[in-house]
């Protein structure tokens, strides 16, 4: 199967962008995402500042649904640990909230290279603990909590779940990892047609170099959760990969390890899809986010 035609305009757009290392960070971070439709409506959106490990930590809280004890979803955006923010993934968070009927807490974690590992990890874990501790105020149920992220956000979601297990943190109902970057030591593999789409080895080298003070840190389990010695006791997992994504194999390797460790794991590969597809305004995004919402609703009960 070839790359799905719905991604052709996006691939064309990205093919004309200069190398990330050739642009100032301010330019990279201000670049617009492919245009979204009118924002998906939710019942309420509130920006909130809490005290995080490194100072002020920005959150965006989305709510849809009746009642005082809605399920709670902690959302971590992608962007290679260097890019992305609450606005870049606003529509994705809105769709998830609207389809799931939950309270979603999106985390504006600190970015590299200004704040290398473990800043983002610490921020996400702090946000999880804050959300659970303040569940009543949020109108959420502290016993129905899941984490979710895409790409680097998928890494942070997986690491947050690991830390919650290791440090007797909140018990999680589930984790959703969307084309996650879970092994920073693994080689980048081209798509079935031999090409790299959206994410190239050069791009990954740029991101890793910004995120890690020491290259040897790449093998740490809180950097590369797929390399953790023990995956037992992690929450039920939905792991989504894309056929034409150079991260596809590492995500599927993690899914196999989770299953071997006795973790209830659903793996779905989206054929013809490219890295980042869940953030692009295309039909396959809506299909994937609907699948995620239905899976979460089953987990939440």
Per the annotation, the verdict on 151 as an active-site residue is yes
Please compute Rg for the chain using Cα positions.
18
Catalytic residue, from 89, 123, 141, 151: name it: 151
Please report where in the chains the tokens 């590492």 appear, as a residue. Answer: 250
Catalytic residue, from 108, 123, 150, 245: name it: 245
Report d(CA 176, CA 90) in Å as an integer.
17
Report d(CA 73, CA 146) in Å as an integer.
5
Catalytic residue, from 108, 150, 181, 275: name it: 275
Provide the annotated active-site residues.
151, 245, 275
């Amino acid at each position: 199967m070839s790359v799905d035609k719905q991604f052709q305009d996006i691939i064309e757009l990205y093919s004309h962008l200069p190398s990330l290392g050739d642009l100032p960070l301010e330019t990279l971070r201000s670049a617009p995402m492919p245009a979204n439709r009118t924002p998906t409506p939710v019942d309420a959106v509130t920006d909130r500042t809490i005290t995080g490990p490194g100072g002020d930590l920005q959150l965006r809280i989305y709510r849809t649904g009746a009642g005082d004890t809605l399920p709670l979803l902690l959302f971590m955006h992608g962007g290679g640990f260097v890019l992305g923010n609450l606005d870049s993934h606003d529509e994705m968070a809105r769709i998830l909230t609207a389809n799931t009927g939950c309270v979603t807490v999106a985390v504006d974690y600190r970015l590299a290279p200004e704040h290398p590992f473990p800043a983002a990890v610490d921020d996400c874990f702090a946000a999880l603990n804050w959300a659970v501790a303040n569940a009543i105020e949020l109108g959420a149920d502290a016993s129905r909590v899941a984490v979710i992220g895409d790409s680097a956000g998928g890494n942070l979601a997986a690491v947050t779940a690991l830390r919650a297990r290791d440090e007797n943190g909140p018990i999680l109902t589930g984790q959703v990892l969307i084309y996650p970057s879970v092994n920073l030591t693994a080689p980048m593999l081209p798509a079935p047609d031999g090409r790299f789409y959206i994410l190239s080895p050069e791009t990954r080298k740029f991101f890793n170099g910004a995120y890690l003070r020491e290259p040897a840190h790449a093998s740490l389990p809180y950097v590369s959760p797929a390399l953790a010695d023990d995956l037992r006791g992690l929450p039920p997992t939905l792991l989504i990969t894309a056929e034409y994504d150079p991260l596809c194999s590492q995500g599927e390797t993690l899914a196999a390890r989770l299953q071997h460790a006795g973790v209830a794991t659903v793996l779905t590969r989206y054929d013809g899809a490219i890295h980042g597809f869940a953030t692009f305004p295309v039909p396959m995004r809506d299909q994937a986010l609907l699948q995620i919402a239905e899976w979460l609703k089953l987990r939440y009960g």
